[in-house]
Each structure stands twice: as C-alpha cells, then as structure tokens.
Amino acid sequence: MVEQRRSIPGGDCTECRMRQSNEWQVLREEEVNFLARSQKCRSYHAGEVVFAEGEPSYGIYCVKSGTVAIRKIDNIGNPVLVQLGYPGDTLGYRGLLLGENRNSSAEALGPSKICFIDKQAVNTLLDKNPALGLQFLRRVTTDLDNAYTKLVENATFSNRTKFLHLLLVLMNRHGRMTNDGSRVMQLPLSRRDMASMIGTRHETVSRIISRLEEDGIARFSGRTVHVKQPHSLLEEIRPVVLE
C-alpha cells in the first residue's frame, strides 16, 4: 500500500506515448519538461479508488495504462457508471476547472498506471500555452456531444438494444479477433455496472444475456464473451431503415 504512493519509473512525459494523441500534444518542449517534473505517476490495483465523490479537486489525472470507471451516485444511493477512462484520457478536469469538489468518483477496474498533475501546474500550463485550453475545449465539446447523443439514445432504445450497443463498444476496446473470425473479450465490468450504464437493473441484464444466448447472438461464461458473427450484432442494432 504505502510504497505505491511513490512516483514510479516510466512516469516521464517526454517519452509518454499517450501524450502524442491527447490534449497535451500542443505543449512545447520546455513545457513538457515542466509537466514531467510536476507530474506524479503511480500504480493502482484493481478496485482502488483514484478520487472520490465529495472530496476537493487537487488536480487532474492522466491514464497511462488500464481502465478506469467514473461513477456518480444517483438519488437513491446507487452508483451509476457514467464513463470509462482509457490510456490517454484525462480525468477530473471538471472539478478542477470549476474549482469545485468532485461530483463523481474514479476507480481503477484493473491494474493501472495513472499520472497526477496538480492544480497549480495545470494552471501554469494553461496560462503559458493558450493552445492547451483550446485543446481541452475541443475535448470537452466532444464529450458533451457524446453525452447528448447518449441522452437521446437512452430515451428511445430498448434495454436490449442499449446493451448491444454497450457490448459493441466494449468489444472494440477489450475484444480480440480469433482466427475463425469470431470475437472474444474479457468483460471489464460486473453485470451491475453494465446495468447502471444502460439505466436498468442487473436482473434485467441477466435476462437479456440469456436471450442473447438463446438467439445465438453471443455466448457468456462469467466475464468471458464470445460473439460468433460480429456483424450479427451490427445487423440487429442498425435496424431502422427510414423511407
């Protein structure tokens, strides 16, 4: 426990591959060096909390490896999984930018490496390099866009369809193609988490899974999922041919 608090090797931003593809790509060399000095990287084990709802926002987090679950608590106290964070993703900017306490929690779903960049360092960088703010602006705008799309989808899709959508995006991230053209993945999520993501109960997810097996769409065994005909998923989702 204790030794994980230390900064670990591999926390050097100058050679971080993630940096090429995310908001930080606009930093100039000396700014990257500044970032590398300010940032603190550490390992998290499965289930470990990165930050918790209600606590002050001390800085932001950059996922180097692993998968992170962002959850909010609904009005009756159930945690709802609202987003998954993957390598390259920057987490926790909301609280930081708005100067508010965290209103969501983050938990490593498996062994992960996550870098922490404190408030002051972020503000210094935003100040030095205006392009960084614009990068974040684009990123947040994209997220907002997706959130609205999800809002519309949730309002119109059946639970089964929403689950298939979820399965598809998880498959893209966590699945691997086998040599016979079928796909396999190891689910990173419990049924409860998946249920909360599509706004239903875990019992309903169980039933949906049963039906998918009956229909020959997919086979589930614990957290392992096999999909024989990956395009059978797509076909069922892509249903509506207008006019």
Partner DNA sequence: CGCCAGGTTGATTTCGCTCAAGCAATGTGG
Partner DNA sequence: CCACATTGCTTGAGCGAAATCAACCTGGCG
Q: CB 135 → a copy of itself: shortest distance, Å? A: 10
- 72 near a copy of itself (CB under 8 A): yes
Smallest separation (angstroms) from a copy of itself to the CB of 102: 11
Closer of 65 and 129 to a copy of itself (Cβ): 129
d(CA 179, CA 127): 51
**Binding characters for a copy of itself, 86-105, by CB under 8 A (x = yes):** -------xx--xx----xx-
Q: Is 146 exposed, middle or buried (0-12, 13-18, 19+ CB in 10 A)?
A: exposed
Whether residue 185 contacts residue 170, with contact meaning beta carbons closer than 8 Å, is answered with yes
Determine contact, residues 168/233, Cβ cutoff 8 Å.
yes
Tokens of 144: 């907002």
Exactly one of 37, 148, 173, 231 binds a copy of itself (CB under 8 A); that residue is 148
Kindly tell me the sign of the dihedral angle through the C-alpha atoms of 195, 100, 110, 227: positive
Which listed residue (75, 214, 221, 222) binds a copy of itself by CB under 8 A?
A: 75
DSSP symbol at 223: T
Cα dist. 186→17, 221, 222 in Å? 25, 10, 9
Q: How does 42-51 read in b/e, with b if 16+ C-beta sit within 10 Å?
A: bbbeeebebb
Choice between 46 and 169, CB closer to DNA: 46
| Distance from C-alpha of 210 to C-alpha of 207, rounded to nearest angstrom | 5
Give the residue, chosen from 2, 3, 5, 76, that forms a contact with a copy of itself under the rule CB under 8 A: 76
CA distance 60 to 34: 15
Among 52, 151, 177, 234, binds a copy of itself (CB under 8 A): 151
Output the smallest distance, CB 48 to DNA, in A.
15
Q: Footprint of DNA on this chain (CB under 7 A)?
A: 158-160, 190-192, 199-207, 209-210, 220, 223
Which of a copy of itself, DNA, none sits in contact with 205, Cβ below 5 to 8 A by type? DNA
Q: Does 169 bind a copy of itself (CB under 8 A)?
A: no
Residues engaged in binding a copy of itself (CB under 8 A): 72, 74-78, 80, 82-83, 93-94, 97-98, 103-104, 126, 130, 133-134, 136-138, 140-145, 147-157, 196, 198-200, 240, 242
